[in-house]
């Protein structure tokens, strides 16, 4: 597979398929790190939402227990 440099640094063109290929490994590593960070943030948000739902359920159970014993 022969490659030809383009005017953009880190981009080459494959002479057989004419595809543009990004050869910037640093940019790829940065993209993967950002994607992992975003995934972790989404997981944290999901965990917080689950905790909120659990707290609401606990509050409702406590309320029904206290109403049942007092009333």
Q: Name the one residue in this structure whose structure tokens are 């707290």.
A: 55
Tell me which residue range forms the domain holding 27.
3-70
For the stretch 31-47, pLDDT in tens is: 999 999 999 999 999 99
3-state secondary structure of 13: strand
CA–CA dist 54, 60 (Å, integer): 10
Q: How many domains are contained in the chain?
A: 1
In the chain, % of residues over pLDDT 70: 96
Query: What letter does residue 4 receive in the DSSP assignment?
Result: E
HSE-up (13 A, CA, CB side) for residue 28:
7
* pLDDT band with cut points at 50, 70 and 90 for residue 70: low
The mean of the pLDDT values for the chain is 92
3-state secondary structure of 8: coil
């Amino acid at each position: 597979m022969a490659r030809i440099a383009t005017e953009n640094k880190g981009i080459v063109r494959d002479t057989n398929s004419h595809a543009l290929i990004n050869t910037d490994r640093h940019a790829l590593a940065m993209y993967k790190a950002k994607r992992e960070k975003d995934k972790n943030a989404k997981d944290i948000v999901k965990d917080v939402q689950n905790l909120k739902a659990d707290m609401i359920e606990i509050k409702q159970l406590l309320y029904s227990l206290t109403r049942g014993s007092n009333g």
